[in-house]
Chains A and B, each alone.
Chain A
Amino acid sequence: MIEFENVTKSFGETDALHEANILIEDGDFVFLVGPSGAGKSTFIKLILREINADSGRILVDGQDITRFSNRQIPKLRRDIGMVFQDFRLLPHKTVFENVALAMEVIHATQRTIKRQVPQILSVMGIEDKADEFPDHLSAGEQQRVAIARAIINNPKMLIADEPTGNLDPDTAWEIMQLIDIINRRGTTVVMVTHAKDIVNRMGKRVVAIDHGHIVRDSVGGEYGYDD
């Protein structure tokens, strides 16, 4: 559960997010849309505590994370899987090692790692790529590795910042299907996107941000504007 209560975050003169209020329940699927510079990434960075709010409260599973100390942040992030437009894989590590990193961070045993990484890779349909390096993979395959890394520790939430932004429409749709499957298994999903047809086709909840204001929040909504 994620709840924003009158959250404001400004950078100098501009309010990247202004008095935002929103409630995202467990198991929800939310598309976050809006023009470039609207405040979407700011919204996500606030949830991860990459940045902290100037005012207001942000509750994640009932805890106000704006009051978290630096030492509490790692714990927060272990409950959140993160996927980015540019994949953010480590180029000098194999697919297996890239995914294993997320498990090493939580001090999983080598045995558990050796058992679970191949499992998640086969769920993602890239079990045969385990020993490849990222730049030998197609863009779609790289994003699958990134998703595998994001969900291997069974996080409660998956947050994706334009995960299909670098993909062709067919591959984008495949990735979208994977994220949908993850959501059906019970993981809350917040996905920033500019992909109008994906949003319209999925028919999920759509939250629109513009100039730091939440201007629309509709279930089964449409993308709603032209870029």
Chain B
Amino acid sequence: MIKNLFYSLKQAFIQMWRNRGMTLASLFSITAMLLILGLFFFLTVNVSFMTESVKEQFDTIEVFLEDSTSYEEAQTMMESLMALDDVSNVEYISKKQAMAEFKERWGENGYLLDGLSENPLPNSLRVTLSNLQGGELTASICRNFIGVEDVRYYQTEINKVLAISDALQKAAMVIIIFLVIVSVVVVSNTVKLTVMARRDEIMIMKYVGATNWFIRGPMLAEGMLIGMISAVISLGIIWALYEKMVEMLGDQAFVLFSTTFVETEFMMFNLVWIFLALGLSIGAFGSIISMRRYLNEA
């Protein structure tokens, strides 16, 4: 078993070197495949991460109070809101607090707000929903309170965001599956060329009593090595790219979506396993598929 492993690896390296043209070609295509795949993976994860945080932000109803509404009146509203099943929390946000939050969200651009002479933001209630389904109803209750100037609840926006992210993720999934299949075909063609070039050798090995595994081993190892090397190369490239992107666009993303990109370390940690597993299986499947026919004839 161990001996067969060493023999297979040795033969695989010899074959890869002898057919280095083909080896490079498949390395290149699988790497390209994995790169695109990685980009879609990152897109999916980030979209779903952002969707979650958007959902979180929009599970609240902002109730803006008229300036004439007193704190006591607001307290009464809060109590009756808390009594509702769909409401998990109600918070009173003063003008001041609202301004502070606003500035924080604008980050480096927050200084722009320093020019304002008076605070234009109203006092408000922030109603956190325990159940998004009850959002519309709760919002209309809020609208009917006396002393409420405006109610902001983004039901339609949330639905839009959810629909878009759902579509994006489904599309990404389809593309990922497609790419995996293409990669398997690419490897299987490479190995098929190796197998055809080695047809006589395989036949002779069978005459001297080689088991199928003895013949299969080196080619399986070849496919898996190619898959693994591609995985390592594409991981390196993606790591560098993603870090650059987070560095350059991270702040913008925060301003635009009020959320950050998923951390590089977290992404890479997951991607390493996914890519290695994927590279190995693409390589293994590619070889097995292309060898099956030859090994079965006599």
A and B form one complex: yes
Q: Give residues of chain B (54-73) contacting chain A, Cβ–Cβ below 8 Å.
A: none
Contact A107–B3 (Cβ < 8 Å): yes
Shortest distance from the beta carbon of A147 to any chain B beta carbon, whole Å: 13
Q: Does B298 contact A (CB under 8 A)?
A: yes
Most buried by A among B200, B208, B210, B214: B208
What does DSSP make chain A's interface, helix, strand, loop or mixed?
helix
Contact of B205 among A51, A70, A105, A107 (CB under 8 A): A105
Contact A105–B214 (Cβ < 8 Å): yes
Q: Does B21 contact A (CB under 8 A)?
A: no
Nearest chain-A residue to B204 (Cβ)?
Answer: A88
Contacts of A105 in B (CB 8 A): 205, 208-210, 214
Known: A104-B7, A107-B3, A107-B4. A77 touches B207 (CB 8 A): yes
Q: Does A106 contact B (CB under 8 A)?
A: yes
Contact mask for chain A residues 75-106; partner B; CB cutoff 8 A; 1 contact, 0 none: 11110001000001010000000000110111
Contact B200–A88 (Cβ < 8 Å): yes
Size band of the A side of the interface? 20 to 34
Q: Does A74 contact B (CB under 8 A)?
A: yes
User: Could you tell me the distance between the alpha carbons of A88 and B212 in the complex, rounded to whole angstroms?
Assistant: 19
Contact B211–A90 (Cβ < 8 Å): no
Contact of A102 among B203, B208, B212 (CB under 8 A): B208
Contact mask for chain A residues 160-174; partner B; CB cutoff 8 A; 1 contact, 0 none: 000000000000000
Q: Does A18 contact B (CB under 8 A)?
A: no
Contact A106–B200 (Cβ < 8 Å): no
Shortest distance from the beta carbon of A75 to any chain B beta carbon, whole Å: 7
Contacts of A70 in B (CB 8 A): 212
Most buried by A among B200, B201, B209, B214: B209
Q: Does B206 contact A (CB under 8 A)?
A: yes
Q: Does A149 contact B (CB under 8 A)?
A: yes
Contact A101–B204 (Cβ < 8 Å): yes
Contact of B208 among A51, A75, A101 (CB under 8 A): A101
Contacts of B206 in A (CB 8 A): 74, 77
Nearest 3 A-B pairs (CB), nearest first? A78-B209, A77-B209, A102-B208
Interface residues of A (CB under 8 A from B): 48, 50-51, 70-71, 74-78, 82, 88, 90, 101-102, 104-107, 149, 153
Interface residues of B (CB under 8 A from A): 3-4, 7, 200-201, 203-212, 214, 298
Q: A74-B214, A90-B204 are in contact. List 18 more A-B contacts (CB 8 A).
A: A70-B212, A71-B211, A74-B206, A74-B209, A74-B210, A77-B206, A78-B208, A82-B207, A82-B208, A88-B204, A101-B204, A101-B205, A102-B209, A105-B205, A106-B209, A107-B4, A107-B7, A149-B208
